[in-house]
A = this chain, B = another copy of it.
Amino acid sequence: MATVPLLTDDQLSPEAAAVFADIRAVRQTDYVNNFWRAMANDPATLKATWERLKAIMGPGALDPLTKEMLYIAVSVANACEYCVHSHTASARAKGMSDEMYGELLAVVGMASQTNALSTAMQVPVDERFRV
């Protein structure tokens, strides 16, 4: 179904295997999802992507749940079916309640609407927004 094989653990190169070990350690689960099994066909990109994702999605000025919700918002706008499913699941695992999810959906829907209206009317940016 994918354009590349989803590699099983025993098909991994040593570099990919090391990344999988780190994914398991960081996420504290033995389960490695299909995205990484597809990415494992190119160990260098796998490693670079995981390392960067790990650095970005951890706690910082924004908490991990807020980051997951931002990830969902982008994935919806980009119409990425896989990403919508995987990050909605991640957000729930990190504590997104039904109320939070409902509000997230409402904001994403509203933004999509006013994005279209602004683009359609080609509204010029207010001077005060350009600082």
| Chain A interface residues toward B at CB < 8 A | 1-4, 6, 31, 33-35, 38-39, 41-42, 44-45, 48-49, 52-53, 55-57, 60-62, 66-67, 69-89, 97-126, 128-131
Contact = CB atoms under 8 A, between A and B. Distances in A.
Nearest to A89: B129
A110 B35 CA distance: 14
| Dominant secondary structure of chain A at its interface with chain B | helix
A1 B124 CA distance: 7
Q: Which 10 pairs across A and B sit closest by C-beta, in order of nearness? A: A77-B77, A61-B99, A74-B111, A112-B116, A42-B102, A80-B115, A113-B113, A79-B79, A82-B118, A73-B73
A112 B38 CA distance: 17
A97 B78 CA distance: 26
B49 A89 contact: no
Given A53-B114, A66-B66, 8 more contacts: A31-B128, A44-B55, A49-B109, A82-B125, A105-B117, A109-B117, A110-B113, A112-B115
A95 to B, nearest CB: 11
Contact of A100 (B62, B78, B100, B120): B62
Given A103-B61, A105-B42, A89 B31 contact: no
